[in-house]
């Protein structure tokens, strides 16, 4: 099989107050969309930060396209991997378009200015998340959902192969939840890959082809979505009884 875009080797993430965790050994290949599911505080964000090389694991390693993350420079990583994390800090008063253009920085040298092509890529990304009409707005004036869509647009502007997204549907209305997950699908279908944490099992069932379940005691299991969506496993994951139904051939789970 071809080299995976991302691979986890004997990886144990560092959760300060947890003694141990099951080592993760899995590979994310082009064309795959992986969902991370688990209750609050289980380590979804910590895992994504570790996969991005922003936090050291307790044990094991992460490889990006076959090379250990630790051996790659940040610019090389940023050309292949885009991150959408939960905290959006305003560094300085920037417009929506200026912020999306940050996605082109991995391709520019120190004193380069963005080219017309960079501008076209950023504008195209803003249009894909329905933000084209706000390109001149200051980001401090955006709503929570608009900020989240801008973060997605900035990642799209980066034109990476791999997306790491922490709760990408956060703050989004129903239409934009669907829209953003469809966009991720489009990127994955172009030989990309995505790893995203989600709180909504039903979105995961519909949009992810592989799932990683993280349990509070440090246990984990992973595999193809249809094998992972077992009601008993999900009930144990969340400590919540679930009723299962089906819509259009896709399972749905409702707390009861």
Ligand X SMILES: Nc1ncnc2c1ncn2[C@@H]1O[C@H](COP(=O)(O)OP(=O)(O)OP(=O)(O)O)[C@@H](O)[C@H]1O
Give the footprint of ligand X on this chain (CB under 6 A): 15-16, 38, 40-46
Cβ proximity to ligand X: between 38 and 106 the closer is: 38
Cβ proximity to ligand X: between 21 and 192 the closer is: 21
- Least spacing, CB of residue 154 vs ligand X, in Å: 21
Residue-by-residue DSSP string for 48-64:
HHHHTTSS--SEEEEEE
Cβ proximity to ligand X: between 16 and 91 the closer is: 16
The closest alpha carbon to 228, from 244, 254, 249, 204, belongs to 204
- Between CA 229 and CA 248 the distance in angstroms is 16
- Least spacing, CB of residue 117 vs ligand X, in Å: 36
- Least spacing, CB of residue 76 vs ligand X, in Å: 26
How open is the CA angle 159-162-163, to the nearest 5 degrees? Answer: 85
Cβ proximity to ligand X: between 156 and 220 the closer is: 220
Cβ proximity to ligand X: between 99 and 148 the closer is: 148
The closest alpha carbon to 46, from 209, 214, 177, belongs to 214
- Least spacing, CB of residue 15 vs ligand X, in Å: 5
- Least spacing, CB of residue 36 vs ligand X, in Å: 8
- Between CA 156 and CA 149 the distance in angstroms is 10
């Amino acid at each position: 099989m071809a080299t995976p875009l991302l691979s986890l080797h004997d990886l144990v993430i560092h959760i300060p107050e947890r003694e141990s965790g099951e080592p993760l050994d899995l590979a994310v290949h082009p064309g795959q969309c992986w969902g991370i599911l688990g209750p609050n505080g289980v380590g979804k964000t910590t895992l994504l930060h570790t996969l991005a090389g922003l936090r050291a694991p307790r044990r094991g390693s992460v490889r990006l396209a076959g090379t250990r993350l630790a051996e790659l420079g940040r610019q090389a990583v940023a050309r292949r991997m885009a991150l959408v994390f939960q905290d959006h800090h305003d560094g300085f008063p920037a417009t929506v378009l200026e912020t999306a253009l940050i996605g082109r920085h991995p391709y520019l040298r120190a004193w380069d200015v963005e080219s017309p092509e960079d501008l076209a890529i950023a504008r195209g990304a803003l249009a894909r998340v329905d933000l084209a009409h706000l390109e001149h707005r200051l980001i401090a004036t955006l709503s929570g959902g608009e900020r989240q869509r801008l973060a997605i647009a900035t990642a799209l502007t980066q034109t990476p192969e791999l997306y790491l997204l922490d709760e990408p549907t956060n703050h989004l209305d129903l239409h934009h939840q669907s829209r953003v997950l469809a966009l991720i699908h489009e990127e994955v279908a172009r030989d990309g890959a995505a790893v995203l944490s989600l709180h909504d099992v039903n979105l995961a069932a519909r949009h992810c082809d592989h799932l990683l379940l993280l349990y509070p005691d440090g246990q984990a299991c992973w595999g193809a979505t249809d094998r992972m969506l077992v009601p008993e496993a999900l009930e144990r994951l969340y400590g919540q009884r679930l009723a299962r139904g089906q819509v259009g051939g896709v399972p749905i789970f409702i707390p009861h």
